């Protein structure tokens, strides 16, 4: 069947020539200000506010995390001062993220390495990504392994991909599934989707439609549009579940509302063929109507690994 599969989660890390070393990154503050404890505390708070990572369990929970794309470039100054004044590896990690945003890859790597020396797990993930970009897959794998063992969800996801695809290690289906399940159990929708794809494809493990459907359903409930598409295809074709064109149309509509062009085309094709009606406005949006798309009792046998997720 036509289906989608996924890949490793890579932050947007641009490599640009940079003569700036970590020790040379200083804020545009005069000496009197740098000596002020109040200014130092303000810079720490700004660094946490502007560059905290959603994948860092040790971040300052007083502030909402931000993606790389959302980082304020002023975080470079704030995090540089915060790290210089405190030596806290959290600020070194967040400095690295800010430097990624400003395309200073060499300086970002230096910042991550400073945090890794202090055994900061989140920094190991991002350093691993940079090492992978320059072709050092063995070191990339080692960083993910260490961070995943410490409980980092993004590291667990990337380690699952490494074991699935044989990146920096031998491919190992059982270990790939283990780490994807860990990430999925901790809220990662793409890990749940990848588990569905593994059982759907039947290449690493025997094909298992019931397992695929259950994992796709979990990912779809979390807003993963690729899972919506694959689950829609299974409902449309009756693969592993009773055919239900209207449920398929609802899933395609949901994916389309998230910007998926394939979902929009599939919905239009089904309506043109007269095999499905226009989904209700609730279903065709990302509102509460999405609960209607959850598998009903008896639709499939839910795997034991999903019971507590």
**CA 142 vs CA 9, 20, 150, 169, 214: distances in Å:** 16, 27, 13, 9, 31
- Domain's final residue, options 120, 151, 183: 120
Count of helices and strands (H, E) across the chain = 14, 0
Asked if residue 249 belongs to a domain, the reply is: yes
How many independent structural domains does the chain possess? 2
- pTM beyond cutoff 0.85: no
- Domain's final residue, options 70, 103, 120: 120
Q: pLDDT of 6-29, one tens digit each?
A: 554 544 333 332 323 344 444 444
Asked if residue 133 belongs to a domain, the reply is: no
According to the model, what pLDDT value does residue 276 have? Answer: 82
Q: pLDDT of 38-81, one tens digit each?
A: 668 999 999 999 999 999 999 999 999 999 999 999 999 999 99
Q: Are 283 and 293 in contact (CB under 8 A)?
A: yes
Q: What is the DSSP string of 218-236?
A: HHHHTT-HHHHHHHHHHHH
Asked if residue 162 belongs to a domain, the reply is: no
Task: Tell me if residue 283 falls in helix, strand or coil.
Answer: coil
- Structural domain harbouring 59: 13-120
Asked if residue 45 belongs to a domain, the reply is: yes
- Domain's final residue, options 120, 155, 184: 120
Short-list 3, 4, 5, CA closest to 165: 5
What six digits make up the tokens of 146?
């260490």
């Amino acid at each position: 069947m036509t289906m989608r599969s996924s890949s490793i989660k890579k932050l947007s890390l641009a490599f640009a020539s940079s003569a700036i070393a970590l020790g040379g990154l200083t804020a545009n503050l005069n000496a009197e200000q740098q000596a002020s404890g109040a200014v130092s505390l303000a810079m720490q708070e700004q660094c946490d506010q502007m560059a905290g990572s959603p994948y860092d369990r040790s971040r300052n929970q007083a502030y909402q995390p931000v993606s790389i794309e959302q980082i304020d470039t002023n975080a470079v100054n704030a995090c540089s001062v915060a790290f210089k004044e405190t030596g806290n590896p959290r600020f070194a990690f967040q400095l690295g993220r800010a430097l990624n945003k400003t395309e200073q890859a060499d300086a970002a790597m230096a910042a991550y390495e400073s945090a890794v020396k202090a055994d900061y797990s989140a920094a190991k993930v991002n350093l691993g990504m940079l090492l992978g970009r320059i072709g050092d897959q063995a070191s990339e794998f080692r960083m993910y392994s260490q961070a995943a063992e410490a409980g980092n969800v993004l590291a667990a996801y990337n380690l699952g991909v490494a074991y699935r695809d044989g990146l920096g290690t031998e491919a190992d289906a059982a270990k790939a599934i283990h780490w994807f399940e860990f990430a999925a159990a901790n809220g990662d929708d793409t890990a749940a989707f990848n588990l569905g794809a593994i059982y759907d494809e039947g290449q690493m493990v025997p094909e298992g439609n019931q397992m695929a459907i259950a994992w796709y359903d979990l990912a779809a409930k979390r807003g993963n549009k690729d899972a919506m598409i694959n689950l829609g295809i299974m409902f449309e074709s009756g693969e592993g579940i009773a055919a239900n064109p209207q449920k398929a149309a609802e899933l395609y509509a949901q994916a389309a509302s998230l910007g998926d062009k394939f979902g929009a085309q599939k919905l239009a094709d089904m309506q043109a063929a007269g095999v499905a009606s226009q989904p209700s406005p609730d279903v065709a949006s990302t509102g509460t109507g999405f609960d209607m798309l959850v598998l009903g009792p008896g639709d499939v046998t839910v795997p034991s690994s999903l019971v507590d997720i």
